[in-house]
């Protein structure tokens, strides 16, 4: 009907939308995100630090859709760069067990010397680990543990139970063994959430005057963190301490706390994000501490992979070999020691 | 309903013998669908449909009042429920239009994720609050436009096109953010301040006011404009709507753009509420929104539905969540209750509808 005026108008619209897209595209940049990396421990055995035989390390991890997982990849990459004798082959992360299994197959075919695997799901990836071991490639199982010890040479990972334990003990001590506690957990269907809660409950059970009055499960993201925390604050007009399992969802939880205008309790976080540590350092919010689940474990895994490839032991142990299992400690980061841990935090 | 009217048309007129007659019959049917007079018959059914859901909501309030009288029946708890409902509520308004128009939009959660991420990158934040709001809205509209073009002009099935958008937008959100949660910087703090008590207008949070505004505009658009009548017509009988002279493709395109725009608005609200953007935002929003629309009495096949019902549906789900956290019950129990309430609400509606039909 309006062919005459339709064309120029369409042209104008197309031009305008192109302009819009161009302006938008410029907005995707997140430059100047500085990466975190493990510092070189001076305590490391000098002999081990010397360049040795070249080691080709394969790394397969899940999709980095969480700040912590992102830091895992970054730590692995940066650590490998420090050694002239390490050649890191890293796969595109995937949360799909089948995809990850095929990526591991491909790394086996590329004849890597050592494999570092952070499985999307420990149980499902057990056969893939076993396959690599059978092919004569030592596997370092990172964090999410395989079902069978035959599927890995060495396991390196965090301790979710102790994370809860340390959070519980810190809170109980801060409260002087007396008070009420609320817990904001992570995804309830995950084993690690149950372990964290178990550790937390076990620690609190040591103190007769401490009572956990409420618990809600968010989903490790800001949105659910905000929602569940807002509901918890409504449910409990008065409590003395809060443990939040995850600093990423803690950003949302902190918003809910500010929105409710509450500040009469002590908050402890989990995992160790940069945002959380900055707040602990500034000491102007309810957040006074966070319990680490260190992403530097990926850097440690690369070091262990290198030592395995060069058939060396750990410097500070008397043993000739790398241990079969390394469980990391979940340190409590407070204002007093935050400077030491800030470089290890993740964004 | 449409079958019934075809029958009555067939009784009054001789059966169409040639193409012209067929077209005329269909156009007549569509015209009947569009006639304002016809809507007088509907409100009664609508009221009964919503009555069931209002009953569910009332039952929830009673449960809350009995189990946690001190915390549940408070003004600040009501405000909390409305605030938490506001974001998914705005998304649901857009979804209601799409479903009444005979479509489906599975990409709403992913669009929200992408829009919050894109709106909170360092580059976007450099343009200030205007940049954040513009980007969120533009990403929402842009994604809706792509959905609409693929469905209306590319002849793709809505289910497939929006599933593709779901995967693509969520992936892009992860790509841009690198998995980080991007917080709003100090320069744009004024935006985040809108979520704090100091910004409440007459005791009502701005987020709730935005939700109310979107719902009212949506209601007017759906029930008092040609756009709304066309939406019902297209969802009820696409062919008839086309024969009645409605530009079906253009209208379908606009429905998805509208849904995208709602996602954009919801994204701005989410940034205000959480002071951040993240690729995990809006997780399963598509299912929450569709569930709210369906228990609100809208037909999944399109052509019939109410915005009021959808809003009630959202309030029911948010109230359940609030109720369960207040009573310190597990997430698992909450999900079971959600499932039961969906089934119960739909069953009650069907009974009410059957009763209505037999009585009239």
Domains detected in chain A: 17-158+295-327 (3.40.50.2300), 160-293+334-344 (3.40.50.2300)
Report the chain B residue with the minimal C-alpha distance to residue A70: B179
Q: For the residues of B72-124, what is the DSSP string, one character each?
A: HSSHHHHHHHHHHHHHHHHHHHHHHHHHHTT---TTHHHHHHHHHHHHTSHHH
**C-beta separation of B139 from A24 below 8 A:** yes
Distance (Å, whole) CA A167 – CA A164: 5
Distance from CA of A123 to the nearest CA of B (A): 23
Report the chain A residue with the minimal C-alpha distance to residue B192: A255
Distance (Å, whole) CA B360 – CA B351: 14
Distance from CA of A223 to the nearest CA of B (A): 6
Residues 273-332 of A with CB under 8 A from B: 275
- In eight-state DSSP terms, residue A273 is B
Q: List CB contacts (< 8 A) between A232 and chain B.
A: 325
Distance from CA of B294 to the nearest CA of A (A): 23
Q: Which pLDDT belongs to residue A319? A: 86
Distance (Å, whole) CA A110 – CA A115: 11
**C-beta separation of B114 from B170 below 8 A:** yes
| A105 at interface of B, judged by CB pairs closer than 8 A | no
Structure tokens at A125: 């990836």
Task: Give A163-176 pLDDT, tens digit per residue.
Answer: 999 999 999 999 99
Question: pTM above 0.95?
Answer: no
| A34 at interface of B, judged by CB pairs closer than 8 A | no
Distance (Å, whole) CA A144 – CA A156: 9
Do B275 and A255 count as a contact with CB atoms less than 8 A apart? yes
Partner residue facing B121 (CB), from A29, A66, A234: A29
CATH of residue B101:
1.10.3470
C-alpha angle B173/B176/B140, rounded to 5°? 45
Report the chain A residue with the minimal C-alpha distance to residue B78: A234
**C-beta separation of B119 from B139 below 8 A:** yes
Task: Give A316-339 pLDDT, tens digit per residue.
Answer: 888 888 999 999 999 999 999 999
Do A347 and B180 count as a contact with CB atoms less than 8 A apart? yes
Q: Which residue has the tokens 């075919």?
A: A109
Residues 142-161 of B with CB under 8 A from A: 142
Task: Give A87-110 pLDDT, tens digit per residue.
Answer: 999 988 888 888 999 999 999 999
Q: Which pLDDT belongs to residue B21? A: 60
Phi, psi of A55 (to 5 degrees): -120, 125
Contacts of B132 (CB under 8 A, 6+ apart): B119, B120, B124, B125, B184, B188, B191, B268, B271
- Specify if B28 maps to a domain: no
- Specify if B203 maps to a domain: yes
Interface test with A, best of B143, B191, B331, B333 (most A CBs within 10 A): B331
Distance from CA of A328 to the nearest CA of B (A): 24
- Specify if B60 maps to a domain: yes
Residues 41-100 of A with CB under 8 A from B: 63-67, 69-70
Do A28 and B123 count as a contact with CB atoms less than 8 A apart? yes
Closest CA to A265 of A256, A273, A274: A256
Domain extent for B235: 41-359
| A243 at interface of B, judged by CB pairs closer than 8 A | no
| A2 at interface of B, judged by CB pairs closer than 8 A | no
- Specify if B144 maps to a domain: yes
**pLDDT, average across residues A276-293:** 96
- In eight-state DSSP terms, residue A196 is H
- Specify if B57 maps to a domain: yes
**Binning pLDDT at 50, 70 and 90, where does residue A150 land?**
very high
Radius of gyration for the alpha carbons in chain A, expressed in angstroms and rounded: 24
| B317 at interface of A, judged by CB pairs closer than 8 A | no
- Specify if B15 maps to a domain: no
| B226 at interface of A, judged by CB pairs closer than 8 A | no
Report the chain A residue with the minimal C-alpha distance to residue B172: A28
| B127 at interface of A, judged by CB pairs closer than 8 A | yes
| A182 at interface of B, judged by CB pairs closer than 8 A | no
Q: Quick check: A143 pLDDT over 60?
A: yes
Distance (Å, whole) CA A288 – CA B190: 25
Report the chain B residue with the minimal C-alpha distance to residue A182: B328
Interface test with B, best of A234, A239, A276 (most B CBs within 10 A): A234
Do A225 and B192 count as a contact with CB atoms less than 8 A apart? no
Q: Which residue has the tokens 């000739």?
A: A320
Distance (Å, whole) CA A127 – CA A146: 9
- Cα A206 to the chain's mean position, in Å? 28
Distance (Å, whole) CA B70 – CA A70: 43
Residue B198: CB atoms within 10 Å: 8
Look at chain B and report how many structural domains it folds into.
1
Task: Give A151-197 pLDDT, tens digit per residue.
Answer: 999 999 999 999 999 999 999 999 999 999 999 999 988 888 999 99
- Cα B309 to the chain's mean position, in Å? 10
Interface predicted TM-score (ipTM) of this complex, two decimals:
0.82
- Specify if B21 maps to a domain: no
- Specify if B32 maps to a domain: no
Radius of gyration for the alpha carbons in chain B, expressed in angstroms and rounded: 22
Q: What is the dihedral of CA A315, A318, A323, A329, to 10 degrees?
A: -70
Q: List CB contacts (< 8 A) between B109 and chain A.
A: none
Partner residue facing A32 (CB), from B122, B178, B179: B122
Distance from CA of B34 to the nearest CA of A (A): 23
Do A30 and B176 count as a contact with CB atoms less than 8 A apart? yes
Q: Tens-of-pLDDT digits for all 360 residues of chain B? A: 444 444 444 444 444 455 566 656 655 555 555 554 444 444 445 555 676 788 889 999 999 999 998 889 999 999 999 999 999 999 999 999 999 999 999 999 999 999 999 999 999 999 999 999 999 999 999 999 999 999 999 999 999 999 999 999 999 999 999 888 999 999 999 999 999 999 999 999 999 999 999 999 999 999 999 999 999 999 999 999 999 999 999 999 999 999 999 999 999 999 999 999 999 999 999 999 999 999 998 988 999 999 999 999 999 999 999 999 999 888 888 889 889 988 887 887 777 777 767 765
């Amino acid at each position: 009907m309006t062919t005459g005026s339709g064309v120029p108008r369409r042209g104008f619209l197309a031009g305008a939308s192109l302009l819009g897209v161009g302006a938008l595209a410029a907005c995707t940049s997140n430059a100047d995100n500085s990466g975190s990396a493990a510092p070189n421990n001076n305590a490391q055995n000098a002999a081990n630090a010397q360049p040795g035989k070249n080691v080709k390390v394969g790394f397969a991890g899940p999709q980095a859709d969480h700040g912590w997982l992102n830091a895992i990849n970054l730590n692995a990459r940066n650590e490998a760069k420090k050694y002239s004798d390490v050649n890191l082959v890293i796969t595109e992360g995937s949360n799909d067990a089948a995809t990850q299994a095929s990526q591991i197959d491909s790394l086996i075919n590329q004849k890597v010397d050592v494999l570092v695997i952070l499985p999307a799901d420990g149980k499902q990836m057990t056969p893939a680990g076993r396959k690599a071991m059978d092919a004569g490639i030592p596997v370092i199982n990172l964090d999410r543990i395989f079902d069978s010890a035959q599927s890995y040479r060495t396991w390196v990972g965090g301790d979710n139970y102790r994370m809860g334990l340390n959070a519980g003990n810190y809170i109980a001590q801060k409260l002087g063994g007396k008070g009420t506690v609320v817990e904001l957990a992570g995804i309830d269907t995950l084993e690690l959430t149950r372990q964290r809660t178990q550790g937390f409950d076990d620690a609190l059970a040591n103190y007769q005057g401490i009572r956990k009055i409420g618990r809600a499960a968010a989903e490790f993201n800001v949105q659910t963190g905000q929602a569940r925390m807002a509901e918890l604050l409504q449910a409990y007009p008065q409590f003395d301490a809060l443990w939040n399992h995850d600093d990423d969802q803690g950003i949302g939880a902190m918003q809910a706390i500010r929105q409710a205008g509450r500040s009469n309790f002590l908050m402890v976080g989990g995992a160790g994000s940069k945002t959380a540590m900055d707040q602990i350092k500034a000491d102007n919010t309810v957040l006074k501490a966070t319990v680490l689940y260190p992403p530097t474990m990926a850097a440690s895994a690369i070091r262990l992979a290198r030592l395995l490839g060069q058939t060396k032991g750990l410097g500070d142990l008397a043993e000739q070999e790398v241990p079969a299992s390394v469980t990391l400690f979940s340190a409590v980061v407070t204002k007093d020691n935050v400077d030491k841990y800030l470089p290890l935090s993740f964004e | 309903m449409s079958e019934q009217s075809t029958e009555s048309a067939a009784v009054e007129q001789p059966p169409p013998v040639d193409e012209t007659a067929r077209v005329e019959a269909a156009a007549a049917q569509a015209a009947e669908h569009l006639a304002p007079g016809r809507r007088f018959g509907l409100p009664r059914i609508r009221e009964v449909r919503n009555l069931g859901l209002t009953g569910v909501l009332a039952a929830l309030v009673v449960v809350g009042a009995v189990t946690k009288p001190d915390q549940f029946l408070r003004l600040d708890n009501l405000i909390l429920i409305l605030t938490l409902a506001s974001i998914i509520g705005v998304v649901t308004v857009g979804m209601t239009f799409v479903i009444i128009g005979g479509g489906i939009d599975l990409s709403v959660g992913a669009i929200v994720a992408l829009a919050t991420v894109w709106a909170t990158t360092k580059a976007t934040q450099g343009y200030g609050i205007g940049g954040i709001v513009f980007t969120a809205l533009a990403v929402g509209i842009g994604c809706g436009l792509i959905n609409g073009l693929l469905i209306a002009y590319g002849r793709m099935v809505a289910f497939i096109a929006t599933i593709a958008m779901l995967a693509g937008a969520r992936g892009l959100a992860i790509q841009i953010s690198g998995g980080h949660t991007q917080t709003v910087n100090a320069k744009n703090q004024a935006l985040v301040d809108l979520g704090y008590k100091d910004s409440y207008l007459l005791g009502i949070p701005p987020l709730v006011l935005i939700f109310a505004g979107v719902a009212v505009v949506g209601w007017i658009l759906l029930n008092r404009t040609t756009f709304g009548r066309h939406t019902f017509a297209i969802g009820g009988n696409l062919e008839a709507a086309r024969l009645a002279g409605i530009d079906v493709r253009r209208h379908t395109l606009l429905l998805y753009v509208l849904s995208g725009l709602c996602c954009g608005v919801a994204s701005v609200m989410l940034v205000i509420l959480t002071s951040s953007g993240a690729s995990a935002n809006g997780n399963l929003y598509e299912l929450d929104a569709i569930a709210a629309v369906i228990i609100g009495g809208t037909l999944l096949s399109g052509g019939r539905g109410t915005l009021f019902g959808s809003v009630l549906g959202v309030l029911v789900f948010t109230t359940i969540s609030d109720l369960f956290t207040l009573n310190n019950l597990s997430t698992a129990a909450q999900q079971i209750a959600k499932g039961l309430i969906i089934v119960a609400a739909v069953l009650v509606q069907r009974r009410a509808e059957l009763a209505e039909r037999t009585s009239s």
